[in-house]
Amino acid sequence: MKKITAIGILLAAVAAFAGELDGGFLKGVTDKEKPFYAPGEEMTFTLRLEGIKAFPPGEWFISWERSGDDGNRNSGKVPASLTEPLVIKTSLDKPGFVRVRAMLVDGKGNVYRKAFTGNPNTPEGKAAMNRFERTDKRIFFDGGAGVQPEKLQGHAEPADFDSFWAKQYARLDLVPIKPELIELPCGNPKARIYAVQVPCAGLRPVTGYLTVPKAVDDGAKFPCRLETHGYSGDRCQHDAPGWARDNEIVFNINAHGQKLPAFGATEADRKMLRWETRSNGYSYAFDPAQNADPETAYFNGMVLRVKRALQYLKTVKGWNGKDLIASGGSQGGLQTIWAAGCGEGVTRAESGITWCCDMYTSGKLRKDPSLNLAGDGWYIGWTDAMGYYDAANFGKRIPKTCLTIITRAGLGDYCCPPRGLAILYNNIPGPKKIWWVQGSTHGFVPPSPNQNFWLEN
């Protein structure tokens, strides 16, 4: 009976402290405001637990690991402290990036994970729970620092890169731009929404939703914006928006050219598309056999749909004839760079956490266990055909009349590693900006104030 009581008391104590821990985060900074160093120069990372008032002494630890583009790794585990920060010193002897990861663990090395404590039985609580489930539940830091990132260069691009794409773009010339539009309800009385499909070279049309300010009826002119999507896996779902902006014309397209409900698509169509986009058991774009030929790579149709979407946007009534914008994040960031570099006169590209930069390093070198490079493993396997789709190679083709903004580059994002983002940035010939964020992973941005900074050329 005494043993059961003791266990009950212990569980109650852990529950009480769990609430305190759930508000915590691990904040990391370097000794330089802009964490870019010279080869061999010492880097100092200082990590502090914040948002926690107290926890049982001796029960929690910070487990950490240093990795990087040099293949060197070391790690450790120290008692967690609310008063003494964890200081990690390291260096890198060549251009590239160092990664430092740390997380709160118990004495057995089990990672602490936050728990949802709201009421999921109310509409507000259910929405809060859904938001919580999409967050990283660890108390962690994942960040890094660079050495001379301005000197990084990517793998040699295909020698026939431009002639290959001239051939692909010529396929579009054979397909007239004859859009079909169906107007849908719009919550903004100053704008209209249309479901749109536009014929395109390849297997599928461009499909998405066009929003247009009603002021175009009176002769008003607006910028045009192309919006693109992140990687959707097997979801294959593109729902109509209920609201539209009334200050610009926007064409929001999906990555697959999927049939929209307004044009008769059913759940059965969506299920079939899930299987149609797969290849040899791989989710779309990942099949090495499909990617062996640049003309059969899944990305081929995606590039053509991006270019055709821009061609269509320039025909929409109300365009001001000068401002053509592309924007998106992750896979949408990749498509944004394609849009800017495909020759359609994009004037502003807003690409966040850009996927598929420096695909050779990620898809080949990071996958080689003998090299021991930092990475998360979620990379399209390298084939020579992938060089035609690498965002860093398209970046070279962005005209100097286009302002390119990398809206976020996470120093802990190894889905889209900082090395690749740096190479993309280096390759862009025109005006450009990049926002480096310390402690940011692909889906996480630390709370402010935080170490982040803009570079601009």
**Average pLDDT in the chain:** 93
pLDDT at 245 over 60: yes
pLDDT at 321 over 50: yes
- Give residue 449's pLDDT band: very low, low, confident or very high (50, 70, 90): very high
User: What digits encode the pLDDT tens for the residues 83-121?
Assistant: 999 999 999 999 999 999 999 999 999 999 888 878 888
The ranges assigned to domains in the chain are 25-151, 161-456
Separation of alpha carbons 152 and 427, rounded Å: 10
The reported pLDDT for the residue numbered 266 is 95
Q: Mean of the pLDDT values across residues 165-188?
A: 98
16-30, 102-116, 258-272, range with the lowest pLDDT: 16-30
pLDDT at 420 over 80: yes
User: What digits encode the pLDDT tens for the residues 71-83?
Assistant: 999 999 999 999 9
The reported pLDDT for the residue numbered 293 is 98
pLDDT at 242 over 80: yes
How many Cβ atoms from other residues are within 10 Å of residue 296's Cβ?
14
Separation of alpha carbons 336 and 253, rounded Å: 12
Nearest to 91 by CA among 23, 21, 40, 161: 40
The reported pLDDT for the residue numbered 66 is 98
- Give residue 19's pLDDT band: very low, low, confident or very high (50, 70, 90): low
CATH topology of domain 161-456: Rossmann fold (3.40.50)
Same fold, 25-151 and 161-456: no
User: What digits encode the pLDDT tens for the residues 363-419?
Assistant: 999 999 999 999 998 999 999 999 999 999 999 999 999 999 999 999 999 999 999
User: In terms of pLDDT, which residue wins out, 128 or 416?
Assistant: 416
Token pair 């097997």: residue: 234
Q: Could you tell me if 198 and 179 are in contact, meaning their C-beta atoms sit under 8 angstroms apart? A: yes
Q: Could you say which architecture CATH assigns to the domain 25-151? A: Sandwich (2.60)
Q: Could you tell me if 366 and 375 are in contact, meaning their C-beta atoms sit under 8 angstroms apart? A: yes
The reported pLDDT for the residue numbered 118 is 80
Query: pLDDT over 70 for what percent of the chain?
Result: 96
The reported pLDDT for the residue numbered 13 is 35
The two tokens of residue 442 are 């692909």
Q: Mean of the pLDDT values across residues 275-285?
A: 95
Sheet of 86-90, strands arranged across: 25-30, 43-50, 86-90
The reported pLDDT for the residue numbered 46 is 98
pLDDT at 2 over 50: no
- Give residue 154's pLDDT band: very low, low, confident or very high (50, 70, 90): very high
Q: Mean of the pLDDT values across residues 209-219?
A: 98
Q: In sequence order, what are the residues at sequence separation of 6 or more whose Cβ sits closer than 8 angstroms to the Cβ of residue 206?
A: 196, 197, 198, 200, 253, 257, 305, 308, 309, 312
Nearest to 414 by CA among 150, 25, 230, 143: 143
Angle ∠(93,96,97) on CA atoms, nearest 5: 100
- Interstrand relation of 36-37 and 140-147 (parallel, antiparallel or unpaired): parallel
The reported pLDDT for the residue numbered 424 is 98
The reported pLDDT for the residue numbered 16 is 39
- DSSP for 139-163, please give it: -EEEEEEEE-GGG---PPPPTTHHH
